[in-house]
Amino acid sequence: MTETNIYDASVDQNAKDAYFTASQSQLIWTRFKKQKAAMFGAWVLVILILSGLFAPFLTPYDPTISGRDKDYMNGAPTIPQFCDDNGCSLRPFIYGVERTRSIETNFRWVTEVNTDDRRYVQFFVQGSTYTLAGISFSTHLFGLDEGFIHLFGTDSTGKDIFSRTFHAINTSLAVGTIGVFIAFVLALIIGGISGYYGGWIDSVIQMVTDAVRTIPAIPLFMALAAFIPDTWSAEERFFFISIILGFIGWPTLARRVRTHLLTERNQEYVLAAQLCGASSGHVIRKHLLPSFTSYIIVDLVISFPYMVLSETALSFIGLGLKDPVNSLGVMLQNVTSADVLLNYQWYFIPVIFFIVLVMAFVFVGDGLRDAADPYGDTKK
């Protein structure tokens, strides 16, 4: 046997040893990396999450009314450029704008671009104060020494849509995270008890589950909205919406947990654990739940876009979050008028981010489902 064959045999043996000694998470990650769509979705998701978390630093202005540009309301996006009729520059710049009104415009305010007024983009500029991880900062990634820059334009009050969009992503993801966590914990507890014990306990729990599933979300939120005090702050309304979404989102996952436990509870490995004196909680937590991790992971990831969709829909119809909170649903309230559709198309830019966010979660969820399937390699 040549040295090359010996080396190849050693490599194959090491690969086999690594496969058989790898943990479940390592195996899932190895399979997940082979799926290009899932990896692409994961990178997009990571970028969006980090953009939301560091939105105060990445965006130039405060997304609330205090950071508005009163001289550029419903303003079109200002795109930085390097060259114009006056020559080129190594630093990106935008043009200054002026608001004028005259008899020619029926005395309405009109914004005019002054191509002779170059305003250069600065990096790591000082601006409004914000808090990250409990520490106050005032440095922003980019901005202008004088005036405003609006990459996505402004809304009817002069607020920067670029700043609002990234803060909205953070808010919508936070609502989804809290809602999914509550729904996930309730589903594991309720579904686990129902599937493991069965009998009359299962019957009672299933009646409660069916009752929760039949509750229509929109009428429920309409009723709850009538009882929300007007004195509630934006933060209180935020947590209230998150908790309610969590409390009505657990039945689907609970049913899947129950179905699997009903099938697995009579398996030999479960009976062996019971004969060894393991408690019911230990059997469920250490033996039954790990046996269908793939389904839990998929439902957990897929639940995120549904939570975000729910928050967006409720805020869109005025039953969820409201100004001054920036969420994707709140921002989409502005795109319902024909005037926006015809004249202010940049209002639809947050819609693109919303679609990308949901699709990224779907790609990652599908990839995790296939990666967590222990028989996934044998099916191909």
> pLDDT tens-digit profile of 7-53?
455 545 555 555 556 666 677 777 888 888 889 999 999 999 999 99
- Of the pLDDT bands very low, low, confident and very high (cuts 50, 70, 90), residue 66 is confident
User: Cα(27)–Cα(36) distance, rounded to whole angstroms?
Assistant: 17
Q: What is the pTM of this model?
A: 0.80
94 with 223, same domain: the answer is no
Whether residue 304 sits in one domain with residue 222: yes
User: Are 189 and 300 contained in the same domain?
Assistant: yes
The answer to whether position 37 is within a domain reads no
pLDDT, averaged across the chain? 79
Does some domain include residue 295? yes
Cα(181)–Cα(18) distance, rounded to whole angstroms? 33
| Cβ-proximal residues to 252 (8 Å cutoff; 6+ apart), any chain | 187, 213, 299
pLDDT at 376: 54
Asked if 312 and 289 count as a contact pair (C-beta separation under 8 A), the reply is no
3-state secondary structure at position 321: coil
Q: Which domain does 275 fall in, by range?
A: 165-372
Mean pLDDT to the nearest integer, 63-72 = 82
Q: Are residues 219 and 358 in the same domain?
A: yes
Do 131 and 172 have their domain in common? no
- Identify whether 339 is part of a domain: yes
Residue 21 belongs to a domain: no
247 shares a domain with 193: yes
The confidence score (pLDDT) of residue 7 equals: 46
**What share of residues in the chain are helix, strand, coil (percent, to 5)?**
60, 15, 25
Q: Is residue 288 part of a domain?
A: yes
In terms of domains, do 182 and 245 share one? yes
List Cβ neighbours of 3 (8 Å cut-off, separation of 6 or more): none
Query: When comparing pLDDT for 231 and 211, which is higher?
Result: 211
Residue 228 lies in a domain: yes
Q: How many residues does the chain have?
A: 380
The CA distance from 183 to 253, in Å, is 8
pLDDT, position 109: 62
Q: In terms of domains, do 112 and 169 share one?
A: no
- Asked whether the predicted pLDDT for residue 269 surpasses 60, the reply is yes
Domain assignment of residue 170, yes or no: yes
What is the pLDDT, as a whole number, of residue 88? Answer: 85
Domain stop point among 96, 120, 149 = 149
For residue 95, count CB atoms less than 10 angstroms from its CB and return exposed for 0-12, middle for 13-18, buried for 19 or more.
Answer: middle
Q: Are residues 94 and 204 in the same domain?
A: no
**Domains in the chain, number:** 2
Same domain, 259 and 123: no
Give the mean model confidence (pLDDT) for residues 358-362: 87
Asked if residue 83 and residue 232 are part of one domain, the reply reads no
Residue in 294, 216, 214 with CA at minimum distance from that of residue 256: 294
Report residue 336 as tokens: 């319902």
Q: For residue 54, what pLDDT band results from cuts at 50, 70 and 90?
A: very high
Helix (H, G, I), strand (E, B) or coil at 90: strand
Of 101, 117, 149, the position where a domain reaches its end is 149
What is the per-residue pLDDT for 18? 58
